[in-house]
Amino acid sequence: MVEAYPVALVVVGIAILGAVFLPRVLSDEPLSLPIIYVISGFLLFTFSPGVSPPDMVEQSVAVEHLTELVVIIALMGAGLKIDRPFSWRDWSWTWRLLGITMPLTIVAAAFLGWYVLGLHVATAVLLGAVVAPTDPVLASDVDAGPPLLESEEAREEYEHEERIVRFTLSSEAGLNDGLAFPFTYLAISLAAAGSIASFGWAGDWLLVDVVYKIGVGVGMGYVLGKLLARIVFRLPAESLLAQTMAGAEALAGTLIIYGLTEVVQGYGFIAVFVGALVLRQFEFEHEYHQSLYDFAVMVERLLMAAVLVLFGGALAGGLLAPLRPIDVAVALTLVVVVRPLAGILGLLGTGIDWPGRAVISAYGIRGIGSFYYLAYALNEATFAELELLVAADRLWAFVGFLVLTSIFLHGLTANRVMTALDAWQQAKREQPDPSFVAIIAKQLLR
């Protein structure tokens, strides 16, 4: 039996090497980095005799903490890249996705889990919470891009269709990872109650898990983001040693904001994203924002690579073995029917053109955040009895297949779809009513 430690070093080395070199060769290819990482992990653990592949069911505590770290750093990066100043009106597309699309997705997923898959009500609600968030880690091909440091340029870019689409997906991913938590706690409360007819827990869930924890997350993010911004921009890096650590405040701020918010029982995911937004708007045109963003993205990419290589290893170890044909059908339905339809319904009546609405609706990417929520919930003791009704390995297989589907489907198409959207936006300035279908077909067939 090969020792685990040297294998772990190989995994980390491959992940780092891939994060450095793959972007140089894949920029114009219909392959995304996550696809390469997953395939690499699968091959590594398949053709390494004596090496035990990761077990996401047995090692769920490690999965929870590792994915938690990746997500919070991704949330900091997501907040730092958003240039659009916060306002209820200018963020109206985001509120629609959070207030309409996300609940519709959760309800549809929970119904399919209960009615079609035969899950316990609490487990079905958990499934809805797990698959609903748009993942901030894997959405790099459709995110807002690096910060624009010239306010005039930023204002010009705000109203471009592609920029609106990217902003909407980035802001949705930044907030709905935290807003999935109340629904996860709803599932845990249902599991503890043992019966949907028992409503004694409902008041505590509403006041604590919804009102208090969301409020604390927003408040802590705002206060700590302001404090971090003053430290970063009022104490410039002037020495050589300080300059070598440029941007590291993004990582430090992520850990501090998340940790302190969790200490006071707020939602740390929300706090980190809000804190990043506050930091980004402070000294808006300062060039140091680029350093903060670059450092956060670098750490995020390295951790993402490690997690996805391990995910590929878990696939090699039989993660998907418990899947049933009906599970596959439901997972595909959630990715290609439920989320796009819920997105279209959520964006009805907005000023976004239909091509933009279609892209936003179709690219609700599922990923590492789903792994975190499932690991977190199943690590709660209240779900022990429910495992007699539905094995944890079936849930892991279902979520693993759904994430794998999203990685390949969205990864193979996102770059060219966004390029087509940009080309359509340019054509719209030069001719009336250009055909988006023709433009996107040209890109996908190229």
pLDDT of residue 152: 46
- Alpha carbon 415 to chain centroid distance? 17
Phi, psi at 352, each rounded to 5°: -75, 135
User: Is the CA virtual torsion 136, 284, 154, 90 positive or negative?
Assistant: positive
In a domain? residue 411: no
Q: Which residue in 270, 257, 284 sits closest to 85, CA to CA? A: 284
Could you tell me the pTM of the whole model? 0.88
> What are the Cα distances from residue 169, in Å, to 22, 73, 107, 129?
24, 17, 21, 18
> What are the Cα distances from residue 272, in Å, to 216, 255, 269, 277?
12, 9, 5, 9
In a domain? residue 341: yes
pLDDT of residue 303: 87
Q: How far apart are CA 110 and CA 126, in angstroms?
A: 8
In a domain? residue 413: no
∠ Cα 327 332 337 (to 5°): 130
∠ Cα 70 144 406 (to 5°): 55
Q: Which residue in 173, 177, 175, 156 sits closest to 84, CA to CA? A: 156
Q: Which residue in 123, 114, 129 sits closest to 209, CA to CA? A: 129
| Strand, helix or coil for residue 315 | helix
- DSSP per-residue codes, 142-189: GS--SPP--HHHHHHHHTSHHHHHHHHHHHHHHHHHHHTHHHHHHHHH
In a domain? residue 416: no
Contact 218, 271 (CB under 8 A): yes
In a domain? residue 15: no
Cβ neighbours of residue 174 closer than 8 Å, sequence gap 6 or more:
75, 78, 79, 82, 136, 273, 276, 277
pLDDT of residue 320: 95
Q: What is the mean pLDDT of each run of 10 residues along the chain (446 residues)?
A: 65 72 61 82 82 86 92 90 82 91 95 92 90 77 57 51 78 86 87 63 86 95 93 69 68 93 95 93 79 86 87 93 95 95 90 84 87 89 63 90 92 81 76 71 65
∠ Cα 134 135 139 (to 5°): 100
pLDDT of residue 381: 62
In a domain? residue 49: no
CATH number, domain containing residue 171: 1.20.1530
Structurally, the chain folds into a number of domains equal to 1
Cβ count near 68 (within 10 Å):
21
In a domain? residue 69: yes
Contact 180, 129 (CB under 8 A): yes
In a domain? residue 152: yes
Name the residue range of residue 134's domain.
61-307+325-404
Cβ neighbours of residue 404 closer than 8 Å, sequence gap 6 or more:
38, 315, 320
Cβ neighbours of residue 277 closer than 8 Å, sequence gap 6 or more:
79, 82, 86, 174, 221, 225
